[in-house]
């Protein structure tokens, strides 16, 4: 693993630890406030934060395993551990949506007391904190190219959505009074739908990573431009990219002047590989195939 990959891995792991600590604090606050304030929507919110703790821990583990260097059994490294972590966390997000929705329906069918007004203050603080965490993890995830971090970020966004729905539901229950006690439960149920939609979207992205779906076209274009700028490279024929954890593997076919020696072609191939490895794109290895070109270079 090169220095760029090491820095990315360390940055991502630190962000995940921040996420875990924040979720522990928020989960405790929400569950206690929900029980004392008679709001199942807030308790459900706390349960989701508890799930987020396990999710963030899985992401952290995936990043740590993914950062391990290649070995005899894993010649391409352990990067897929990060994708598998994203897959597991996305499934946990869907599981949380189902669990909360089932309990919300039970609460709707069984009348209960009106929630306490102080729960609204707790929810405002929770929403603000969760949105900050979402933006932080999403930014780090994009910066280091980590899908699992972006999935973890959406855990925080879904938590914020659940809290907003709970705030609306509790406000309706308090303003409308008797007969509207279940408004916060309906709010929790509505939030579950939003969580489930995001969970499915993230599950699809994680599955695509595991199945070696091609990275964005912009990445291939950048690789082609870098390789094509190397002296002696006439044209870039094929270019295939495969994402693995926080990095990528590249297979590229470079056309060179057909009249040059094998040694000269070999040197051009090495320069192409060096240029890509030093590009800052997080490329872990490059397989360069040299092809003869009919176009002679001066």
Q: pLDDT tens digits, residue range 19-48?
A: 888 888 888 888 898 888 877 667 777 776
Residues 132 and 151 in one domain: yes
Question: What's the whole-number mean pLDDT along residues 178-207?
Answer: 78
Confidence at residue 112, expressed as pLDDT on a 0 to 100 scale: 65
Question: What's the whole-number mean pLDDT along residues 183-201?
Answer: 78
Q: Are 192 and 101 in contact (CB under 8 A)?
A: yes
Name the one residue in this structure whose structure tokens are 């929810």.
Answer: 123
Cα–Cα distance for residue pair 268/253, rounded to 1 Å = 12
**87 in a domain, yes or no?**
yes
Confidence at residue 212, expressed as pLDDT on a 0 to 100 scale: 76
Question: What's the whole-number mean pLDDT along residues 196-202?
Answer: 80
Residues 17 and 152 in one domain: yes
**298 in a domain, yes or no?**
no
DSSP string, 20-71: HHHHHHHHHHHHHHHHHTT-HHHHHHHHHHHHHHHHHHHHHHHHHHHTSPP-
**239 in a domain, yes or no?**
yes
Does the structure show a pLDDT above 70 at 1? no
Residues 109 and 249 in one domain: no
Last residue of a domain, one of 210, 245, 269: 210
Residues 140 and 58 in one domain: yes
Residues 198 and 230 in one domain: no
Last residue of a domain, one of 143, 177, 210: 210
Confidence at residue 297, expressed as pLDDT on a 0 to 100 scale: 47
**134 in a domain, yes or no?**
yes
Residues 154 and 26 in one domain: yes
Confidence at residue 290, expressed as pLDDT on a 0 to 100 scale: 93
What's phi and psi for 225, nearest 5 deg? -65, -40
Residues 133 and 66 in one domain: yes
Looking at the structure of the chain, the number of domains it has is 2
The CATH number linked to 282 is: 3.30.70.1350
Confidence at residue 20, expressed as pLDDT on a 0 to 100 scale: 84
Residues 256 and 149 in one domain: no
Q: How far is CA 227 from CA 138, 270, 278, in A?
A: 30, 11, 11
Above pLDDT 90, what percent of the chain? 16
**129 in a domain, yes or no?**
yes
| Helices 118-144 and 3-36, packing angle to 10 deg | 170
User: Which residue segment(s) compose the domain that 240 sits in?
Assistant: 217-293
Q: Which of 101-110, 220-229, 273-282 has the highest mean pLDDT?
A: 220-229
**127 in a domain, yes or no?**
yes
Q: Are 179 and 128 in contact (CB under 8 A)?
A: no
Confidence at residue 270, expressed as pLDDT on a 0 to 100 scale: 94
pLDDT band at 264 (very low <50, low <70, confident <90, very high): very high
Output Rg (C-alpha) for the chain, integer angstroms. Answer: 25
Q: Are 154 and 202 in contact (CB under 8 A)?
A: yes
161-172 pLDDT, tens per residue? Answer: 777 877 888 888
**30 in a domain, yes or no?**
yes
Alpha helices in 110-216 (DSSP H): 118-144, 147-176, 183-210
Cα–Cα distance for residue pair 259/82, rounded to 1 Å = 45
Residues 112 and 155 in one domain: yes
Q: Which residue has the higher pLDDT, 226 or 90?
A: 226
**240 in a domain, yes or no?**
yes
132-181 pLDDT, tens per residue? Answer: 988 998 888 877 777 677 777 877 787 787 778 778 888 887 888 777 76
Question: What's the whole-number mean pLDDT along residues 109-135?
Answer: 84
Last residue of a domain, one of 210, 244, 259: 210
Does the structure show a pLDDT above 60 at 2? no
Residues 187 and 227 in one domain: no
Residues 78 and 60 in one domain: yes
Residues 89 and 199 in one domain: yes
Confidence at residue 6, expressed as pLDDT on a 0 to 100 scale: 63
Confidence at residue 298, expressed as pLDDT on a 0 to 100 scale: 44
The CATH number linked to 185 is: 1.20.1510.10
Average pLDDT value over all residues in the chain = 81
Does the structure show a pLDDT above 70 at 127? yes
């Amino acid at each position: 693993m090169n220095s760029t990959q090491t820095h990315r891995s360390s940055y991502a792991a630190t962000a995940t630890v921040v996420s875990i600590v924040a979720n522990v604090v928020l989960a405790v606050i929400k569950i206690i406030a929900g029980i004392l304030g008679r709001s199942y929507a807030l308790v459900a919110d706390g349960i989701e934060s508890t799930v987020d703790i396990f999710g963030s821990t899985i992401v952290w583990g995936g990043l740590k395993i993914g950062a391990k260097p290649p070995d005899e059994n894993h010649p391409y490294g352990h990067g897929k551990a990060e994708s598998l972590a994203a897959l597991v966390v996305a499934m946990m997000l869907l599981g949380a949506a189902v669990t909360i929705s089932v309990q919300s329906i039970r609460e709707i069918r069984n009348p209960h007391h009106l929630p306490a007004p102080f729960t609204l203050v707790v929810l405002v603080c929770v929403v603000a904190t969760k949105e900050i965490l979402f933006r932080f993890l999403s930014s780090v995830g994009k910066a280091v190219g980590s899908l699992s971090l972006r999935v973890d970020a959406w855990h925080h966004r879904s938590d914020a959505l659940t809290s907003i729905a709970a705030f609306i539901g509790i406000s309706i229950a308090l303003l409308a009074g008797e007969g509207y006690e279940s408004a916060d439960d309906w709010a929790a149920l509505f939030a579950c739908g939003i969580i489930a939609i995001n969970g499915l979207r993230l599950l699809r992205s994680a599955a695509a990573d595991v199945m070696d779906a091609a990275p964005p076209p912009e990445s291939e274009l950048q690789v082609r431009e870098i390789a094509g700028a190397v002296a002696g490279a006439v044209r870039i024929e094929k270019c295939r990219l495969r994402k693995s954890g926080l990095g990528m593997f590249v297979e590229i076919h470079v056309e060179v002047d057909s009249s040059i020696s094998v040694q000269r072609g070999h040197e051009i191939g090495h320069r192409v590989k060096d240029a890509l490895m030093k590009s800052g794109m997080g490329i872990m290895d490059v397989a360069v195939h040299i092809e003869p070109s009919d176009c002679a270079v001066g």
